[in-house]
């Protein structure tokens, strides 16, 4: 009898622990198959990366006109692709803000250097979605970013101030600013976070 009671006790304890772990899980799948995110005791929440898509995935990706087709070559393709990027970078923007598309054919492109995109409105696109499609391989010996996308630092900071909070949780959508920090609807702001050793 004691043995059966012990088994029932362990079973109950397991259910209790499982239920608690589900309640404390940072991400769970609901009945409809959607992800639900929960914050921890500090307010930190795992970011919802689905918003990283084109127009926060609220619009379909447009089919941009191809301006350059880069054939697959059996050698370092860095310069070949970079020349195509540089060419399209000089083309004018259309009414939708695009210069054009660079199409990489099916095959393996070995890149020993780094590709740099310094202008907006450029689409770098391949063919296919599997091992038979377009594949880019970082063949160099360094560990730099394979494709570096950067813009021009042509902005000017007119006013600078610190926010009120000592701690801003991950995935926060609001911050508190001092009353003397004058902002109007439509103003562009630049948020900078200093990374320290202790986080």
Kindly report, residue by residue over 17-61, the tens digit of the pLDDT: 444 444 578 888 888 988 888 999 889 998 888 777 788 878 888
Specify the 3-state DSSP secondary structure of 194.
coil
Would residue 9 count as lying in a domain? Answer: no
Q: What domain range is 144 assigned to?
A: 66-149
Compute the distance between CA of residue 14 and CA of residue 31 in angstroms, rounded to an integer: 23
Would residue 48 count as lying in a domain? Answer: no
Would residue 110 count as lying in a domain? Answer: yes
Residue 195 structure tokens:
């990374």
- CB of 28 closer than 8 Å to CB of 46: no
Would residue 25 count as lying in a domain? Answer: no
Residue 181 structure tokens:
């920090």
Residue 104 structure tokens:
């990489």
For the chain, the domain total comes to: 1
Would residue 105 count as lying in a domain? Answer: yes
Structure confidence by residue, pLDDT tens digits, 66-80 = 999 999 999 999 999
pTM recorded for the entire structure: 0.64
Specify the 3-state DSSP secondary structure of 134.
strand
Q: How far is CA 193 from the centre of its chain?
A: 18
Would residue 19 count as lying in a domain? Answer: no
């Amino acid at each position: 009898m004691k043995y059966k009671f012990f088994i029932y006790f362990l079973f109950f304890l397991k259910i209790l622990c499982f239920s608690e772990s589900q309640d404390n899980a940072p991400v769970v799948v609901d009945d409809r198959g959607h992800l639900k995110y929960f914050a921890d005791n500090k307010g930190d929440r795992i970011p919802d990366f689905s918003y990283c898509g084109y127009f926060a995935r609220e619009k379909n990706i447009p089919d941009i006109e191809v301006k350059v087709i880069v054939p697959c070559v059996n050698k370092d393709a860095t310069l070949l692709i970079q020349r195509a990027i540089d060419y399209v970078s000089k083309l004018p923007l259309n009414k939708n803000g695009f210069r054009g598309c660079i199409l990489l054919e099916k095959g393996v492109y070995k890149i020993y250097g780094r590709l740099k995109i310094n202008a907006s409105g450029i689409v770098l696109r391949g063919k296919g979605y599997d091992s038979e499609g377009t594949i880019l391989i970082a063949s160099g010996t360094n560990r730099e970013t394979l494709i570096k996308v950067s813009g021009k630092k042509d902005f000017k900071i007119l006013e600078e101030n610190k926010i009120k909070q000592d701690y801003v949780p991950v995935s926060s959508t609001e911050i508190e600013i001092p009353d003397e920090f004058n902002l109007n609807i439509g103003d562009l702001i630049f948020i900078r976070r200093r990374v320290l050793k202790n986080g």
